Amino acid sequence: MEKIGKVNPSFWNRKKVYLTGHTGFKGSWLSLWLHSMGAEVKGYALDPPTAPALFEVAKIADFVETEIGDIRDLDKLTQSIQTFNPDVLLHLAAQSIVLKSYVDPIETYTTNVLGTANVLQAGRKLPNLKAIVSVTTDKCYENREWVWSYRENEPLGGRDPYSSSKACAELVTASFRDSFFTDPQGPQVATARAGNVIGGGDWTENGLIADIIRAFGQAKPVIVRNPLAIRPWQHVLEPLGGYLMLAEALYTDGAQYAQAWNFGPSEEDCKPVNWILDRMVNLWGDGASWELDQDANPHEARFLKLDSSKAAAYLGWTPQWRLEGVLDNVVQWHREWHAGADMTHRCLNDIATYTKLM
């Protein structure tokens, strides 16, 4: 395998990219990044999941052809993908909230499992398609709460419906790859697993950073469920860069990259929730604070880390931003938003700054 080393703008220039989930937090950042490199992007997703939403704040619809649709609707999805006839397919659409998966497990499974199968089915037999990246999560692993980082060959699992559904999505993708994407000249399929992504414009329901920003903006204490839980925190651009590098590798070098890949943060950036809270309180100031939620909550993993040494060795991908600077970036991003700044410009500046480090 030849290392990619960095995201290559010339590769993406004029590439046709079909992106599911483009109205979400990660999808909005990825849409802007692809547009900035000259890619022709079509997004397919439900309406933005939050209000406010980065999709609207950064005016993503001005840069990306948008079709509102559900990945569970196979006929509509297939028509959409086949009409666009992409070179690369990036699948990010998902029900991504652990707590919501307890409230509506059926929606979680149908979206994350059947929806993934639909995307892969719709991507079959397209004349120009060469690369499919299906994004899952670090939570797809059978979490044993141990201190070691999980590698791509560790057993899949998941106690909560969300984590379980993502493990299922990994199995579905592997099955489609082995059954239907076996032509070395045809589309190559890989999965990508990342940690807890954070960044400007994240208003995700029950997401830690989103909850912190909402509470600080309203001069209220942040109510926290699991302050000692350790998570692999990373800026959203870190794994997105990995997805782009992986897609390029699939497109140019083929089947040797058609497997599962971890894109997690540095070991030192796996921090407990209370560390994040204390630093965010200090950065925000103005009486910001947090409190422990005294109510019982559904089970969530308390310790989880990814081993991304394979991505470093074979793609040349490594994390670029340390967590302390990322948290400062998030606070400044939201302060600018509150002040009425041009957030499209701010996002593009962040992307440019990040790519210079690669």
pLDDT reading at 332 higher than 60: yes
- Specify the pLDDT at position 287: 86
Q: Give the residue-averaged pLDDT of 164-179.
A: 98
Q: Which residue has the higher pLDDT, 267 or 94?
A: 94
Average pLDDT over the chain, rounded to whole? 93
Kindly indicate the confidence band of residue 2, based on its pLDDT and cuts at 50, 70 and 90: low
Nearest to 224 by CA among 162, 154, 150, 278: 278
Report the predicted TM-score, pTM, of the whole model to 2 decimal places. Answer: 0.94
Q: Is 64 exposed, middle or buried (0-12, 13-18, 19+ CB in 10 A)?
A: buried
* Closest residue by Cα to residue 294 from 220, 231, 227: 227
pLDDT tens sequence across 223-242: 988 888 887 789 999 999 99
pLDDT > 70: percent of the chain: 97
Per domain, the residue ranges of the chain are 9-357
Name the strands in the sheet holding 270-272, side by side, starting at the edge strand that comes first in the sequence: 196-198, 230-235, 270-272
When pLDDT is averaged across residues 53-60 and rounded to a whole number, the result is 98
Residue 277, pLDDT > 70, answer: yes
In the chain, what is the straight-line distance between the N-terminal and C-terminal CA atoms, in Å? 19
Of 14, 3, 139, 171, the closest CA to residue 86 belongs to: 14
Mean pLDDT for 260-282 is 91
Q: What is the pLDDT of residue 227?
A: 87
**Average pLDDT of span 317-340:** 95
Across the range 120-149, mean pLDDT stands at 92
Side-chain half-sphere of 300: how many Cα atoms within 13 Å?
20
Query: Among candidates 185, 183, 182, 306, which has minimal Cα distance to 242?
Result: 306
Predicted local confidence at residue 224, as pLDDT? 87
Dihedral sign (CA 345, 347, 350, 352): negative
Q: For residue 89, what are the contacts with CB-CB under 8 A and spacing of at least 6?
A: 17, 18, 20, 81, 119, 123, 129, 131, 132, 133, 187
Q: Mean of the pLDDT values across residues 8-21?
A: 98
Confidence at residue 81, expressed as pLDDT on a 0 to 100 scale: 98
Other CB atoms within a 10 A radius of the CB of residue 173 amount to: 24
Which of the four pLDDT bands, split at 50, 70 and 90, describes residue 217? confident
pLDDT, residue 305, reads 85
Strands 131-135 and 196-198: unpaired
Overall average pLDDT of the 187-194 stretch = 97
HSE-up (13 A, CA, CB side) for residue 130 = 14
The arithmetic mean of pLDDT across residues 171-185, rounded, is 96
Mean pLDDT of 188-207: 92
State the pLDDT confidence band at 335, using cuts at 50, 70 and 90.
Answer: very high
247: left (phi over 0), alpha (psi -120 to 50) or beta: alpha
pLDDT at position 302 is 60
Write the DSSP symbol of residue 251: H
What is the average pLDDT across 290-312? 79
Residue 254 has pLDDT above 90, yes or no: no
Q: How much is the pLDDT for 147?
A: 73
- Nearest Cα neighbor of 357 from 243, 225, 237, 182 is 237
Question: 21-25, 36-40, 80-84, 286-290 — which is least confidently predicted?
Answer: 286-290
Q: Residue 1: what pLDDT?
A: 67
CATH architecture under which domain 9-357 falls = 3-Layer(aba) Sandwich (3.40)
For 190-194, 206-210, 265-269, which range has the lowest pLDDT when averaged over its residues? 206-210
- Cα–Cα distance for residue pair 9/131, rounded to 1 Å: 17
Class of residue 282 by CB neighbours under 10 A (exposed 0-12, middle 13-18, buried 19+): exposed
Q: Per-residue pLDDT averaged across 202-211, rounded?
A: 86
Mean pLDDT of 331-335: 94
